[in-house]
């Protein structure tokens, strides 16, 4: 719990000077005579964390439960507070003669003592105690219904039986774990993040935190999950449509900005694969929110004919540092340098192999030839695509000085397809566009803005990847970018 939240929730502090100490602290023992000195000059209230008899010679308040220390956000002892009207107005930590004299207004404190001694860690921040203290003193922040399990009931199997799982084991969302997860954000647990389709259920920060626990997230991932939920639940992304379609697409989460490095995301080797906790669990948490809060379960509203493994959770970071271009988020309008998530409704990745092209024109033609096949070579304008360019292919464009707009423009030219090739029946293939006989023009493979480019992947092997999208534009899904808030 933050100090501000703690201060708002604890019983009023007694006015005067309030001290927090423990016997098992050399600095607290050092300043015990100073507390005796203060007790004779002002209104002093001493809370002891480990021994109600310490220090001798002053009235001591028993805080061995650590409730007051917890609620006051005490991080080290000794801590001295000045309180007026039940509100803390000043604080100093450890023994610093000048600060103690300024806070108390009493000169000449601790004659013969050193000017300064650091304190010791408060028992209320002891890692072995914090989870239990959160449950005792902060669980009132939680509003979710509690589920009681029988003593011999297996937690993992119980969650499978209740339908909370995506098919893999999930982490039991105990009060301790959910409260710890909520430490990852400054947002209030009861704040509504979004209305989650398909059942259009209001979803709070707490509900997202519960599903982040289920997914195996760490608290520092929670802001990313919250932003992903916000993006998924927009009309532009159209999560209900992405769920209900019989195509095998799902939310793909791309993370940009400083938070990628801060939480240890993978943007390099095996970027779309297993092995990185942040990548694996953030995407999974989003899918669990859609399942457990919104009701989007396979075989019910989720009608995908095949699906794809990415529907377990598909999340990765862009390799901005190694890229010859600006980040994807900036292409979509986000200010450079901000931490963002971009949601794209995509299928699983397909690899582009070109190990011989050493000039941008040749490589561009290879990429265009593979992009032409997204969903079907004869279907145009209906589907977006995300092109993930690997470091070795990116180097070809960097060395030639090609900008990202230049690459997109050339791909657009190469992806102008003669109508005669895509008309229904052309080439002996019934699939295609209902173009009139004799149509002589050409059409683009993708709608304007429908091809996104991101830089990621390992630095060995001349590969790139394509993620085909779903129905594009206003009738389907549009990429959505959201800034990540703490």
| Residue 236 near residue 267, CB atoms below 8 Å | no
Exposed e or buried b for every residue in 63-99, given b needs 16+ CB within 10 A?
beebbbbbbbbbebbbbbbbbeeeeeeebbbbbbbeb
Preceding peptide of 410 cis, ω within 30°: no
Lookup: tokens for 461: 């092997």
Q: Given the structure tokens 């909370």, which residue do they identify?
A: 164
Architecture of domain 3-139: 3-Layer(aba) Sandwich (3.40)
Residue by residue, pLDDT tens for the chain (486 residues) are 343 444 444 567 899 999 999 999 999 999 999 999 999 999 999 999 999 999 999 999 999 999 999 999 999 999 999 999 999 999 999 999 999 999 999 999 999 999 999 999 999 999 999 999 999 998 888 999 999 999 899 999 999 999 999 999 999 999 999 999 999 999 999 999 999 999 999 999 999 999 999 999 999 999 999 999 999 999 999 999 999 999 999 999 999 999 999 999 999 999 999 999 999 999 999 999 999 999 999 999 999 999 999 999 999 999 999 999 999 999 999 998 999 999 999 999 999 999 999 999 999 999 999 999 999 999 999 999 999 999 999 999 999 999 999 999 999 999 999 999 999 999 999 999 999 988 889 999 999 999 999 999 998 889 999 999 999 888 899 999 999 999
For helices 222-232 and 205-215, angle between their N-to-C axes, nearest 10 degrees: 110
All structural domains of the chain with their residue ranges: 3-139, 175-483
* Neighbouring C-beta atoms of residue 144, cutoff 10 Å: 14
């Amino acid at each position: 719990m933050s100090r501000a939240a703690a201060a708002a929730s604890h019983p009023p502090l007694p006015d005067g000077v309030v001290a927090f100490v423990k016997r098992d602290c050399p600095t607290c023992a050092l300043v015990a005579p100073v507390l005796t000195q203060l007790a004779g000059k002002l209104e002093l209230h001493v809370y002891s964390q480990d021994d109600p008899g310490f220090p001798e010679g002053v009235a001591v308040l028993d805080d061995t439960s650590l409730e007051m220390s917890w609620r006051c956000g005490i991080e080290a002892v000794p801590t001295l507070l000045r309180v007026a009207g039940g509100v803390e107005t000043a604080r100093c930590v450890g023994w610093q003669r000048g600060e103690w004299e300024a806070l108390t207004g009493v000169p000449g404190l601790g004659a013969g003592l050193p000017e300064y001694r650091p304190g010791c860690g408060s028992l209320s921040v002891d890692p072995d105690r914090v989870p239990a203290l959160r449950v005792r003193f902060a669980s009132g922040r939680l509003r979710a219904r509690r589920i009681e399990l029988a003593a011999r009931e297996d937690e993992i199997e119980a969650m499978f039986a209740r339908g909370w799982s995506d098919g893999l084991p999930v982490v039991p969302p105990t009060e301790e774990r959910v409260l710890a997860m909520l430490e990852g954000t400054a947002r209030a647990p009861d704040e509504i993040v979004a209305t989650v389709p398909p059942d259009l259920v209001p979803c709070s920060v707490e509900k997202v935190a519960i599903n982040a626990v289920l997914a195996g997230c760490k608290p520092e991932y929670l802001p990313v999950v919250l932003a992903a939920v916000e993006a998924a639940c927009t009309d532009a992304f159209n999560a209900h449509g992405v769920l209900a379609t019989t195509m095998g697409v799902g939310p793909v989460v791309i993370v940009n900005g400083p938070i990628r490095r801060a939480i240890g995301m993978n943007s390099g080797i095996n970027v779309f694969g297993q092995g990185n906790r942040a990548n694996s669990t953030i995407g999974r948490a989003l899918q669990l929110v859609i399942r457990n809060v919104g009701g989007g379960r396979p075989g019910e509203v989720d009608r995908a004919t095949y699906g794809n493994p990415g529907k377990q959770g598909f999340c990765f970071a862009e390799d901005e540092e190694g890229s010859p271009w600006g980040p994807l988020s900036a292409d979509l309008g986000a200010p450079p340098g901000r931490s963002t998530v971009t949601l794209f409704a995509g299928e699983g990745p397909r690899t582009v192999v070109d190990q011989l092209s050493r000039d941008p024109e040749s490589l561009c033609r290879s990429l265009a030839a593979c992009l032409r096949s997204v969903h079907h070579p004869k279907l145009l304008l209906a589907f977006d695509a995300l092109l993930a360019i690997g470091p070795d292919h990116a180097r070809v464009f960097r060395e030639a000085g090609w900008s990202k707009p230049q690459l997109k423009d050339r791909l657009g030219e190469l992806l102008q397809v003669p109508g005669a090739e895509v008309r229904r029946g052309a080439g002996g293939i019934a699939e295609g566009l209902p173009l009139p006989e004799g149509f002589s023009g050409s059409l683009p493979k993708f709608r304007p803005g429908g091809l996104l480019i991101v830089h990621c992947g390992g630095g060995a092997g001349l590969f790139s990847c394509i993620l085909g999208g779903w129905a594009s534009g206003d009738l389907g899904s549009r990429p959505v970018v959201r800034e990540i808030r703490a």
